[in-house]
């Protein structure tokens, strides 16, 4: 990954980017690049995921059969860095795709780029709600005003947690129109790529400052579920399928709908299509004949 090297003024705009930041200098139906490496002794896939700006869910789905916590040294590891952009994406709008636990943003003006970051979302019973929102406040070093519902669960918590290493909001926060809903950093990066929060959307500590600089106050936010995404790239017909038990969707019917919309159904290799739908590995797969 690390595509920022050719971005010209993008690095200056953002004040410098992390080495593996998923900020791509040109738009398109597909961004990023997948690669391969071998697991090193004592290295978990959580560490590999963070080093490549991926969530835990992405690295685990792309590498079935590999123990994500204790992979065998020398095991081949797929780095799923290529992503089909969601259909909901448009300039100026943040899109959070709950199906893949990933956020996308294309600025409405300025350099032509697509920014995409893995996220953590709400746990069972506290799910991040799909819908349309706006960024109503941007705050660096935010204090955490602990909701009463959380203080009931954890009565030892104070009413307000000041900025610092113990603050679960991390270094930056974007407040949305829904009461209490935020996009923010985290002091628990292992939760990125998992549904573990109380409903908010969390980014890696190194990613949230980049998003914070890119997104203006008032930007619209769409929280969606797109477990199936389709794209055509350089003549290749690609499908990306994510396992999302909360989507309540017929995967085959959704794939058919998206392919029909692109007038591409006649080009499909049916065996490849159904293999991708069954495996749900979260990586773009060529299903063309």
Catalytic amino acids?
Answer: 184, 200
Between strands 201-202 and 182-184, the pairing is parallel
Give the phi and the psi of residue 133 in degrees, each rounded to 5. -140, 180
Is-contact 175 255, C-beta < 8 A? Answer: no
Residues 6+ apart with CB under 8 A from 260: none
- Helix H, strand E, coil C: the string for 257-280 is HHHHHCCCHHHECHHHHHHHHHHC
Strand order through the sheet with 285-286? 228-233, 236-241, 285-286
d(CA 102, CA 81): 12
Distances in whole angstroms, Cα of residue 222 to Cα of each of 36, 69, 93, 243: 32, 33, 7, 20
From the list 108, 130, 128, 142, the residue with the least C-alpha distance to 217 is: 108
For residues 128 and 200, the answer to whether their CB atoms sit within 8 Å is yes
Q: How large is the C-alpha radius of gyration of the chain?
A: 19
- Please state, in angstroms and as integers, the Cα–Cα distance from residue 204 to each residue in 153, 166, 193, following that order: 25, 15, 10
């Amino acid at each position: 990954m690390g595509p920022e090297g050719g971005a010209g003024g993008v690095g200056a705009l953002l004040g410098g980017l992390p080495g593996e930041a998923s900020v791509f200098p040109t738009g398109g139906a597909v961004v990023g690049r997948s690669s391969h490496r071998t697991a090193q002794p004592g290295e978990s896939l959580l560490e590999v995921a963070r080093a490549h700006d991926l969530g835990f869910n992405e690295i685990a789905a792309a590498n079935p059969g590999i123990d994500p916590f204790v992979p065998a040294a020398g095991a081949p590891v797929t780095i799923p860095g290529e992503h089909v952009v969601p259909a909901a994406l448009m300039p100026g709008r943040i899109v959070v795709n709950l199906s893949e636990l990933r956020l996308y943003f294309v600025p409405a003006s300025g350099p032509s780029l697509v920014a995409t970051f893995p996220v953590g979302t709400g746990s069972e019973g506290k799910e991040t709600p799909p819908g349309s929102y706006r960024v109503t406040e941007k705050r660096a070093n935010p204090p955490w005003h602990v909701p009463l519902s959380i203080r009931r669960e954890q009565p030892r918590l104070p009413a307000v947690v000041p900025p610092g290493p113990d603050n679960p909001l991390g270094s930056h926060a974007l407040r949305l129109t829904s009461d209490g809903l935020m996009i923010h950093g985290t002091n628990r990066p292992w939760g990125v790529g998992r549904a573990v929060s109380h409903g908010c959307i969390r980014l890696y500590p190194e990613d949230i400052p980049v998003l914070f600089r890119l997104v203006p106050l008032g930007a619209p936010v769409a929280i969606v579920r797109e477990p199936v995404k389709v794209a055509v790239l350089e003549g290749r017909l690609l499908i990306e399928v994510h396992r999302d038990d909360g989507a309540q969707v017929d995967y085959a019917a959704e794939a058919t709908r998206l392919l029909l919309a692109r007038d591409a159904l006649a080009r499909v290799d049916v065996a490849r299509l159904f293999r991708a739908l069954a495996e749900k590995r979260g990586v773009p797969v060529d299903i063309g004949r």
